Amino acid sequence: AQKVTQAQTEISVVEKEDVTLDCVYETRDTTYYLFWYKQPPSGELVFLIRRNSFDEQNEISGRYSWNFQKSTSSFNFTITASQVVDSAVYFCALSEARAAGNKLTFGGGTRVLVKP
Amino acid sequence: KAGVTQTPRYLIKTRGQQVTLSCSPISGHRSVSWYQQTPGQGLQFLFEYFSETQRNKGNFPGRFSGRQFSNSRSEMNVSTLELGDSALYLCASSLVRGSENTEAFFGQGTRLTVV
């Protein structure tokens, strides 16, 4: 069965520091998709990125970057020069192609607190 | 483009009652999924609907049910409410693009409190 583990439950940093969120996944499927979502206090999950299992290229989007390593089943997320607005809970998620649909398995989330 | 809309935003119900939550997906999105979020269990998948058919189901009792209408709007129903059903219920909609699993866009959720 699929599983996503986010070992860090909470990270506290001071503004402008970099923060890296770890995500380790388990799946038996060869084709799968990985996602990161941000959940601010308002409750809505905001989509950040989607990767498929065949695309191991790292990606950078502004202050956000993602490191996908199939060899270690990890999909880590780094926020560079953090800002107070980055304070939120971040979720890593996995969906398997064989599930024939968009069933997401989420990790437990990492709460990021950025202090001014 | 309007996002995913969930109604109501907040709900208080008594044990034993039933409740219906509504979700309007992003225009053009035909897949609608529901998730339950609690502090203890985290985010858990309830079910997914596509073309008015349930395509996937999570490990929840039969008291949890859903349906999808021809305009892709979806409802979920919880019967015989229990205190443990208190949670944030999130709806997500997705494009259907061949066999790919596309990103899901979430609504703001319905916070259900059972007393």
Taking only the tens place, the pLDDT of each residue in A18-66 is: 999 999 999 999 999 999 999 998 889 999 999 999 988 888 889 999 9
Counting DSSP H helices and E strands in chain B, the numbers are 0, 11
pLDDT level of residue A100 (50, 70, 90 thresholds): low
Structure token pair of residue A17:
């520091």
Q: What is the mean pLDDT of chain A?
A: 93
* Residues of chain B with C-beta less than 8 angstroms from the C-beta of A44: 106-109
Residues of A in contact with B108 (CB under 8 A): 42-44
Band (pLDDT 50/70/90 cuts) for residue B1 is: low
Task: Tell whether the model's pLDDT for residue B98 goes beyond 80.
Answer: no
Burial zone of A102 (CB within 10 Å; 0-12 exposed, 13-18 middle, 19+ buried): buried
Query: Chain A closest CA to B20's CA: distance in Å?
Result: 20
Q: How close B96 comes to chain A (CA, Å)? A: 9
| Residue % of chain B over a pLDDT of 90 | 88
In a mutagenesis test of the A interface, which of B101, B105, B108, B112 is the best target, namely the one with the most A β-carbons within 10 Å? B101
- Picking from A25, A26, A8, the residue whose alpha carbon sits closest to that of residue A90 is A8
**pLDDT, chain B, mean:** 94
* pLDDT for B7: 97
B61 has a pLDDT exceeding 90: yes
B contacts of A43 (beta carbons < 8 Å): 88, 90, 108-109, 111
Alpha-carbon gap, residue B33 to B23, rounded angstroms: 10
